[in-house]
Amino acid sequence: MSRRRILPTLLLSWCTATAFAAEQPASSERHEPVAELGMTDAIVLGVVEGVTEYLPVSSTGHLIIANEFLGLESERPLTDKAGQPLWYKKPSEKHPEGIPLTVKLAADTYSVVIQFGAIAAVAILYWGQILSMLRGLIGRDVAGRRLLINLIVAFIPAGALSYLAHDWIAARLFSVEAVIVAQVAGAGLMLWVEARRRRQANSQTESTVEELTPKQALGIGTWQCLALWPGTSRSMTTIVGGYFAGFAPRKAAEFSFLLGFVTLSAASLYKGYKSGAAMIQVFGWGNIVLGCVVATLVAALSVRFLVNWLTRHGLGAFAYYRLALATVLGVLLATGWLQ
């Protein structure tokens, strides 16, 4: 791997580690990991994240399901070796009863933080565009500056809504039931949009990323807000937004990847800052990093696959997969295999 491709990965590693360290307890309060995130668990979660982050099937939804199957959904308060409770938020005026550390809290945090692996994959594969944006930032690349502005504009709607509704979403929508609803709704949207694109394919002039206007970028960013519901898929909503902006499937996917680089970086750093210390206190460092590395490698392969698949076949097959997954999950819930 060339030095130019290694640089973004090292930079992202440093930023993520810094975010986690920001709220680490003082050394006198540190604990050994109190619950094990096994090597197999880390590899499974890394593969799930890598495969699903950029495919229009929802990585968050799949990670919620994976956590359920791996037994990482326990909300039992954790204690140290002396039997004393471990706190995410100690009792205070704002939280009179406190918020205890749980495996579920750590696993939900990891479901966001593991996106670092997908971020690194895009940094490696699309380093040329990222370098162009960095040059545009200092006035040396007009196209790069335009792309950077459009990505920032597209990020704002979901970024603002996520900041305002983060706690509400975490408390109410991180469930298998919510994922099922989102999978079905997303499948219907994809089938309709794909049929619309095919009808207009011969009459509509295809746009390029370089021709995108801030207004169109804002429209794509508004579509991305739907992805705050776990199970919807950030990739799906931004590709759909790209279709409405006149992009061919390949260009819609590539803009989705670059927007994901911005969005996922912000989400991972924010979640790492808010809950990273608690996640590390519960799981430790080793297998957390392993899962991110696995996610990077698998996500790089998934990006290449998606670009080639969309160019030839469009979104339809992913919609049918979502319907099949929702059906299986519904059956498992109805028969008591999932709680």
* DSSP letter string, 200-259: HTTTSPPB-GGG--HHHHHHHHHHHGGGGSTTS-HHHHHHHHHHHTTB-HHHHHHHHHHH
Q: Tell me the percentage of the chain whose pLDDT exceeds 90.
A: 56
- Give CA separation, 75 vs 23, 71, 284, in Å: 22, 11, 18
Instruction: Please say if the pLDDT value at position 2 is more than 70.
Output: no
Neighbours of 60 (CB within 10 A): 27
Summarised one tens digit per residue, pLDDT across range 296-331 is: 999 999 999 999 999 899 999 999 999 999 999 999
- CA nearest to 247, candidates 209, 210, 219: 209
DSSP state of 98: -
Summarised one tens digit per residue, pLDDT across range 144-167 is: 999 999 999 999 999 999 989 988
Question: The tokens of 201 are what?
Answer: 């394919």
Confidence tier at 135 by pLDDT (50, 70, 90): very high
pTM of the predicted model as reported, rounded to 2 decimal places: 0.83
Mean pLDDT for all residues in the chain: 86
Q: 56: helix, coil or strand?
A: coil
Which residues, 6 or more positions from 314, have their beta carbon under 8 angstroms from its beta carbon? Answer: 194, 197, 198, 249
Confidence tier at 31 by pLDDT (50, 70, 90): low
Least reliable range by pLDDT among 5-9, 67-71, 135-139, 314-318 = 5-9
147 residue type, one letter:
L
Cβ pair 204, 157 in contact under 8 A: no
Domain limits, the chain: 3-334
